[in-house]
Amino acid sequence: MLFEVLYVSQLSPHVALHAVGDIARQCRVFNKAKNITGILIFDGSRFCEQLEGNEADVLQLMQTIRQDPRHTGVHVLHQGALDKRRFCRFSMGYTMVDEQALDALSVLTGHDALRTFSALVPHLDLDS
């Protein structure tokens, strides 16, 4: 079954900003191998990531991501079944946004959160 997760988190204080590019590159390689697609957004201090793929693979990856010390406060805004992929072009699209862009999103849940996330995407200059 296709499954998706949308979460927000905070860059850990001890992690340098340039490490975020390494995270994005690492994601792309792993996600391609697991047929997981999605988009990672970073605003200078917060992450927001949508992941989609086989349910077991996505849930297993979420467990790994939760334990990653490079960020803290992983908070799932939405998770659930998906009819078809939202971002099939991206093994992991990565982009930076300005600091306000994630403010509204991080206090939403469920389909409201997904809608706000999806509305951001057409404006993003994604590096797939």
Ligand X SMILES: Cc1cc2nc3c(=O)[nH]c(=O)nc-3n(C[C@H](O)[C@H](O)[C@H](O)COP(=O)(O)O)c2cc1C
Q: Supply the minimum distance, in Å, between the C-beta of residue 57 and ligand X.
A: 10
Q: Does residue number 87 form part of the binding site for ligand X (CB under 6 A)?
A: no
Q: Supply the minimum distance, in Å, between the C-beta of residue 12 and ligand X.
A: 8
Q: Where are the alpha helices (DSSP H) in the chain?
A: 19-34, 55-66, 103-106, 110-120
List, in order, residues 6 or more apart from 24 with CB less than 8 Å away. Answer: 40, 92, 94, 127
Q: Answer yes or no: are the C-beta atoms of 127 and 93 closer than 8 Å.
A: yes
Q: Does residue number 26 form part of the binding site for ligand X (CB under 6 A)?
A: yes
Q: Residue from 3, 4, 5, 31 that binds ligand X (CB under 6 A)? A: 31
Q: Does residue number 68 form part of the binding site for ligand X (CB under 6 A)?
A: yes
Q: Does residue number 114 form part of the binding site for ligand X (CB under 6 A)?
A: no
Q: Does residue number 116 form part of the binding site for ligand X (CB under 6 A)?
A: no
Q: Supply the minimum distance, in Å, between the C-beta of residue 90 and ligand X.
A: 10
